[in-house]
Structure 1
């Protein structure tokens, strides 16, 4: 009297899954370990590489015809910009160093001119006597 006769689809699905899972797992593991599978996978990989090369070639051709720079051309320009930036930094450092040296030299020349003026003043005083 207390027996439940309702049909539970999830319970049936679970039982089917549990019974077939081990069989399928073994079959798949066996097929993955064969030389034929490895060769097929290698062929798929070769075809994919060829496809990638074709896409690259077509893209470069399109970009060239559309007068749009490619990634390689943009990378070259970026490299040139970095080189120019480095040269500007080097020139800026050089100019800064030269400015300090020149400032010191100008100060020395001013001092020498003052000394010469003083000596000339002394010489003029001596000549006047």
Structure 2
């Protein structure tokens, strides 16, 4: 008993594809192997490059006339912005590194000024005590000029004894 194989359309399509693919493969390989094909392809590429250059030149001329930045100009500005950001980051880093040093120096300066104020107060107290001990006019004038504000001109003030002498 022989069995009948049912009709399978996919097998027929597969066989047809394999035969067609083999034939086209041979034709395409022969065509690609010819020097004339390479020359033609080179001419097409050369024409495309000329066309592309012409379009770029026309576009650039249009952008300049319309006062629109070109791709190169935008890229140049972008690189300048990136360089500027890098510089700002470097300055920020330097400020952060120096802030601790500056804070320490300011605190040291505050302590030094505080110590100077204490010493200056002691000097003023000593002068006041000296002024009380010496009742003469010259010592009184000297202590009054010392107690004036820093930077202000010291002018001797007249005492009642001085006004009596001038008359």
Cα-to-partner distance string for 1:50-76 (whole Å, 9 max, x where unaligned): 111111111111111111111000001
Q: Distance in 1 between matches of 2:81 and 2:69?
A: 16
Look up the match of 1:109.
Answer: 109
Look up the match of 1:47.
Answer: 47
Structure with the larger helix share: 1
Distance 1:15 1:98, change over 3 A: closer
Q: Could you tell me how far 1:107 is from its partner in structure 2? A: 0.8
Cα-to-partner distance string for 1:24-44 (whole Å, 9 max, x where unaligned): 332221111111111111111
SS at match of 1:68: coil
Q: Could you tell me how far 1:123 is from its partner in structure 2? A: 4.7
Identify unmatched segments of 5+ residues in structure 1.
1-9
Q: Distance in 1 between matches of 2:62 and 2:26?
A: 49
Q: What is the count of residue pairs matched by the alignment?
A: 121
Q: Provide TM-score, normalisation by structure 1.
A: 0.73
Identify unmatched segments of 5+ residues in structure 2.
1-9, 131-167
Q: Distance in 2 between matches of 1:17 and 1:88?
A: 66
Look up the match of 1:23.
Answer: 23
Moved more, 65-74 or 107-116: 107-116
Q: Could you tell me how far 1:11 is from its partner in structure 2? A: 9.2
Q: Distance in 2 between matches of 1:22 and 1:88?
A: 66
Look up the match of 2:161.
Answer: none
Report 1:76-87 matches (<5 A): 76-87=76-87
Question: Higher relative contact order at CA 8 Å, sep ≥6: structure 1 or structure 2?
Answer: 2
Larger radius of gyration: 2
**Aligned Cα RMSD in Å?**
2.8
Distance 1:50 1:107, change over 3 A: same
Q: Provide TM-score, normalisation by structure 2.
A: 0.58
Report 1:32-111 matches (<5 A): 32-111=32-111
Distance 1:94 1:13, change over 3 A: closer
